[in-house]
Structure 1
Amino acid sequence: MTTPDKGGRSWIWALLFAPYIGLLWLPLYNSAQPEWLGFPFFYWYQFLWVPITSLLLYVVYRRMK
Structure 2
Amino acid sequence: MSHADGYDRNGGAFPDEPRLTRDTAIRGPARPAPYIGAGILLAAAILFPLMPQLYSFDAPRLAGMPFFYWYQLLWVPISAILTGSAYWLVTKEDRRRRAEARAGGPPQAGSGSAGAGLGGGRP
Return the TM-score normalized by structure 1.
Answer: 0.87
Q: Among all aligned residue pairs of Structure 1 and Structure 2, give the percentage whose two residues are the same amino acid.
A: 35
CA distance in 1, matches of 2:72, 2:64: 15
Q: Which stretches of structure 1, 4 residues or longer, exceed 6 Å deviation after superposition?
A: none
Whether the aligned pair in 1 keeps the contact of 2:39 and 2:86 (CA below 8 Å) is: yes
CA distance in 2, matches of 1:63, 1:11: 8
* Correspondence for 1:62: 88
Rg larger for: 2
* Correspondence for 2:102: none
Are 1:7 and 2:32 counterparts?
Answer: yes
CA distance in 2, matches of 1:20, 1:2: 30
* Structure 2 portions without partners, runs of 5+: 1-25, 92-123
Aligned residues: 65
Return the TM-score normalized by structure 2.
Answer: 0.49
Q: Deviations for 1:13-54, whole angstroms, at most 9, x for unmatched residues? A: 111111222111111100110000111000000000000000
* Correspondence for 2:62: 36
CA distance in 1, matches of 2:83, 2:29: 20
* Structure 1 portions without partners, runs of 5+: none
Offset at residue 12 of structure 1 (A): 2.2
